A and B are shown apart, each in its own frame.
Chain A
């Protein structure tokens, strides 16, 4: 089994274009939320109205309009982020033949929501024969991978994983599998989601989104007693995974090394919410760390996927407390300012673990005794070992431990 490192990172979203833009936005408390188009009448009265949207972000320099018009919104975001990630890894401009063994793994919570809605509108309003072939092609969850593959000539394994909020790390673990087993020489892990008005309204009807507060703001407050839901968002992040020797051969240094990975499932979770199976999840996490040779005591930072949902944050806190006991490392929860979907979380985790950027809690917490954890105001700027956690509604879960420095003997995921 090969060791696996992250050699490049690209991100696009409401914060703008590039990982540096994301880092700056994170430090500043996150991008501004926009009003979601509610003209279709999908939204319930009094529910969430805002989201972190990427509609105004200009991707033309990364995805020429002639190509862009044939892509779904997630595919467009993915292609843009992939170009940035390859450049960050020093792989921009590679010949197509050099991507013969490049694999692609998309992680998406919802897939191409807008395209699906348009297709259904055509079928129901105008009849089945009105369904657009072009939209249908883009309606599959793996379309973003296919568009990236076409663009760069990637001919290794190509797939998408859907596991709601855990899609990001499930995809990262699967991308690492491809490189570790030699099924791919390198893998692009593409974490992408869009936030269409219908999807936003449905999430709100499931009570997943933060409610408007007295001052009209909709704020995600991870682990905070006042939390009422997540902040909806969209965007894409792409991580380039390689073997460390391939990165060294180009005279570059990896951002981080994947020191361990774990996956689990909470069978107590209902289909639409988080469960209470913290014991089983903590055991799965501990098992994965053990297989990677990672001691919990060595972890200096936790980048938590807590997004401000009532049950999700409580479960996350319970799992962390079981793993670490009284000695909880500093915790950051980027979804509080960067939103819950669209790759910003996994990009922020990579930035934090690599020492490139980190931000503490944007607002002071009011501790929730049911959680018993607080996010750090001043997290460590250069952690040696970082745990990243994603727990999904419906039960899926995944974690990775990211380390700086070279792998030890036999280290792999």
Chain B
């Protein structure tokens, strides 16, 4: 059973390409990866030393959130303020029926590590460094800055978090609980995830190479992606410019393994099918897909199986891409930034390329966009999907502004 689509009226982003939508849009079109050696922390002793670290913020952004703000807080605040401005909503949501639905995995873990290292060394450390330590820290920081009074939630389901948060926002808007939502996510680089994924041998020593024969794993990134969502009626009433639509979301769990996806792609297929049903969009109507596309052998294979299950023979000629190949894996925020990238693709009539060296893995049967953007001026409907630790899957269907 499908529900009403909600309008996307604002977008905001921070990633390895820079702070703001324009660096992201330019980077996606250029197709050159932002994954490189990084210096947020010393990588000596780590198996790999590449990631897509956000550059230092432009003047004025650094102080956002105060001196206790974590990197993830700053990314979230910058992306949220940009999305609010894009939506013509000003600097506050006070007095509005508004909510905030974020996904996150690490929150202020980087700053917690600094605290932990200090106390482990017997040195003094201010416990206030941990004030925004939890995954909910960025959402709370944004809610505070925008004077929100409605629902504020942080979904922490590893790499599917932000797409699950989009689904929660969609339901809150449809139910009448709120009329406006900010949705997406924010996460930052930290030692724990870099060491952990390396321990799993899930990080490529080179920039990740999704759907290539030579793929060896992911590359981690950081940043935020935020969407302003509104009920169609609310957007119409205030004369907002619609930049796209969130038409439907779906979720599932593999119940298969703590780290490996169901190799048959059955779990992610159910999430995609649920998103399509929720959107009232037939699989045949999807014009391109923005896959999770991490570059791990198992994940890419499972997603290829999903494409075959859901799209049948058309899977081999359905344009597919991986934003992670360009900005790394934003973990809990990945679905937020990838939804932004997908909406930019719909707006610009072009699917961004998937970066990465090597030979396309023909056995996967994926029509991967490589080298340069692929022009799809008539694209109206796209799918974005995410998979996570523990088998959590999520997907969403996004529409061009003129698709309704």
Which chain A positions have C-beta within 8 A of B153? 161, 163, 170, 174, 263, 396
Asked if A181 and B156 sit within 8 Å, CB to CB, the answer is no
B371: interface (CB < 8 Å): no
Instruction: Determine the distance from Cα of A182 to Cα of B2 in the docked complex, in whole angstroms.
Output: 11
Instruction: Determine the distance from Cα of A267 to Cα of B147 in the docked complex, in whole angstroms.
Output: 5
Asked if B143 and A395 sit within 8 Å, CB to CB, the answer is yes
Asked if A264 and B151 sit within 8 Å, CB to CB, the answer is yes
Asked if B151 and A265 sit within 8 Å, CB to CB, the answer is yes
Give, as a whole number of angstroms, the nearest-CB distance from A178 to chain B.
9
Which chain A positions have C-beta within 8 A of B176? 291
With a 10 A CB-CB cut-off, give which of B105, B175, B390 has the most chain A CB atoms: B390
Which chain B positions have C-beta within 8 A of A398? 151
Q: Which residue of A lies closest to B388 (CB)?
A: A142
For chain A, give the interface size range: 35 or more
Stretch at the interface among B50-58, B130-138, B351-359, B396-404: B130-138
Asked if B198 and A129 sit within 8 Å, CB to CB, the answer is yes
B99: interface (CB < 8 Å): yes
Asked if B46 and A128 sit within 8 Å, CB to CB, the answer is yes
Give, as a whole number of angstroms, the nearest-CB distance from A199 to chain B.
10
Asked if B134 and A123 sit within 8 Å, CB to CB, the answer is no
For window 126-183 of A, CB contacts with B under 8 Å fall at 127-129, 131-133, 136-137, 139-143, 145-147, 149-150, 152-164, 170, 174, 177, 181-183
Instruction: Determine the distance from Cα of A183 to Cα of B392 in the docked complex, in whole angstroms.
Output: 14
Asked if B274 and A183 sit within 8 Å, CB to CB, the answer is yes
Asked if A145 and B136 sit within 8 Å, CB to CB, the answer is no
Which chain A positions have C-beta within 8 A of B135? 111, 141, 162
Instruction: Determine the distance from Cα of A145 to Cα of B254 in the docked complex, in whole angstroms.
Output: 12
Asked if B199 and A129 sit within 8 Å, CB to CB, the answer is yes
Which chain B positions have C-beta within 8 A of A394? 136-137, 140
Q: Which residue of B lies closest to A142 (CB)?
A: B157
Asked if B253 and A157 sit within 8 Å, CB to CB, the answer is yes
Instruction: Determine the distance from Cα of A244 to Cα of B327 in the docked complex, in whole angstroms.
Output: 46
Q: Assess A267 versus B389: contact at CB under 8 Å? Given A140-B105, A154-B255, A291-B177.
A: no
User: A125, A152, A395: which contacts B144 (Cβ < 8 A)?
Assistant: A395
Instruction: Determine the distance from Cα of A156 to Cα of B167 in the docked complex, in whole angstroms.
Output: 14
Asked if A265 and B258 sit within 8 Å, CB to CB, the answer is no
B270: interface (CB < 8 Å): yes
B5: interface (CB < 8 Å): no
User: B132, B146, B200, B391: which contacts A136 (Cβ < 8 A)?
Assistant: B200
A-B contact count (CB 8 A): 240
With a 10 A CB-CB cut-off, give which of A143, A152, A157 has the most chain B CB atoms: A157
Asked if A128 and B195 sit within 8 Å, CB to CB, the answer is yes
B119: interface (CB < 8 Å): yes
Asked if B154 and A162 sit within 8 Å, CB to CB, the answer is yes
Q: Which residue of B lies closest to A270 (CB)?
A: B131
Q: Which residue of B lies closest to A205 (CB)?
A: B127
User: A156, A160, A174: which contacts B168 (Cβ < 8 A)?
Assistant: A174
Q: Which residue of B lies closest to A182 (CB)?
A: B1
B191: interface (CB < 8 Å): yes
User: A129, A141, A143, A157: which contacts B252 (Cβ < 8 A)?
Assistant: A157
Which chain B positions have C-beta within 8 A of A109? 134
Asked if A271 and B191 sit within 8 Å, CB to CB, the answer is no
Q: Assess A177 versus B117: contact at CB under 8 Å? Given A127-B45, A128-B195.
A: no
Instruction: Determine the distance from Cα of A270 to Cα of B141 in the docked complex, in whole angstroms.
Output: 9
B26: interface (CB < 8 Å): no
Q: Which residue of B lies closest to A117 (CB)?
A: B116
Q: Assess A155 versus B200: contact at CB under 8 Å? Given A119-B195, A128-B194, A163-B153.
A: no
Asked if A1 and B175 sit within 8 Å, CB to CB, the answer is yes
Asked if A125 and B120 sit within 8 Å, CB to CB, the answer is yes
Instruction: Determine the distance from Cα of A110 to Cα of B388 in the docked complex, in whole angstroms.
Output: 20
For window 1-50 of B, CB contacts with A under 8 Å fall at 1, 3, 45-47
Q: Which residue of A lies closest to B42 (CB)?
A: A128
Give, as a whole number of angstroms, the nearest-CB distance from A406 to chain B.
22
Give, as a whole number of angstroms, the nearest-CB distance from B111 to chain A.
12
Give, as a whole number of angstroms, the nearest-CB distance from A268 to chain B.
8
Asked if A177 and B168 sit within 8 Å, CB to CB, the answer is yes
With a 10 A CB-CB cut-off, give which of A110, A158, A263 has the most chain B CB atoms: A158
Instruction: Determine the distance from Cα of A87 to Cα of B78 in the docked complex, in whole angstroms.
Output: 48
Q: Which residue of A lies closest to B165 (CB)?
A: A159
User: A117, A206, A265, A271: which contacts B132 (Cβ < 8 A)?
Assistant: A271
Which chain A positions have C-beta within 8 A of B344? none
Q: Assess A159 versus B199: contact at CB under 8 Å? Given A123-B191, A129-B45, A202-B130.
A: no
Q: Assess A158 versus B391: contact at CB under 8 Å? Given A163-B136, A202-B130.
A: yes
Which chain B positions have C-beta within 8 A of A183? 167, 250-251, 274
For window 263-290 of B, CB contacts with A under 8 Å fall at 267, 270, 274
B113: interface (CB < 8 Å): yes
Asked if B46 and A265 sit within 8 Å, CB to CB, the answer is no
Instruction: Determine the distance from Cα of A195 to Cα of B215 in the docked complex, in whole angstroms.
Output: 41
Asked if B171 and A177 sit within 8 Å, CB to CB, the answer is yes
Contact with A along B187-204 (1 / 0, CB 8 A): 000011011111110000
Which chain A positions have C-beta within 8 A of B144? 267, 269, 271, 395
Asked if A139 and B192 sit within 8 Å, CB to CB, the answer is yes
Give, as a whole number of angstroms, the nearest-CB distance from B119 to chain A.
7
Asked if B200 and A280 sit within 8 Å, CB to CB, the answer is no
Q: Which residue of A lies closest to B159 (CB)?
A: A140
Which chain A positions have C-beta within 8 A of B3? 181
User: B140, B147, B151, B253: which contacts A104 (Cβ < 8 A)?
Assistant: B253
Asked if A123 and B195 sit within 8 Å, CB to CB, the answer is yes
User: B148, B155, B392: which contacts A267 (Cβ < 8 A)?
Assistant: B148
Q: Assess A264 versus B149: contact at CB under 8 Å? Given A124-B116, A163-B154.
A: yes
Which chain B positions have C-beta within 8 A of A266? 149
Instruction: Determine the distance from Cα of A174 to Cα of B101 in the docked complex, in whole angstroms.
Output: 12
A387: interface (CB < 8 Å): no
Give, as a whole number of angstroms, the nearest-CB distance from B367 to chain A.
29
Asked if A162 and B168 sit within 8 Å, CB to CB, the answer is no
Asked if A159 and B391 sit within 8 Å, CB to CB, the answer is no
Q: Which residue of B lies closest to A281 (CB)?
A: B149
Which chain B positions have C-beta within 8 A of A159? 155-157, 160-161, 164, 251, 392
Closest 10 pairs (CB-CB, A-B): A146-B390, A136-B196, A263-B151, A157-B251, A158-B253, A141-B156, A131-B195, A159-B157, A128-B195, A271-B131
Name 12 A/B residue pairs within 8 A (Cβ), A-sorted: A111-B135, A116-B192, A128-B194, A136-B192, A141-B135, A145-B253, A146-B390, A149-B390, A161-B153, A263-B151, A280-B149, A398-B151
14 additional contacts (CB under 8 A) given A140-B389, A263-B153: A103-B251, A111-B156, A124-B116, A131-B195, A140-B156, A141-B156, A154-B253, A156-B251, A159-B164, A162-B104, A162-B136, A263-B99, A265-B100, A394-B137
Residues on A close to B: CB < 8 A? Answer: 1, 42, 96, 99, 103-104, 108-111, 116-117, 119-125, 127-129, 131-133, 136-137, 139-143, 145-147, 149-150, 152-164, 170, 174, 177, 181-183, 202, 205-206, 263-267, 269-272, 277, 280-281, 283-284, 288, 291, 394-396, 398
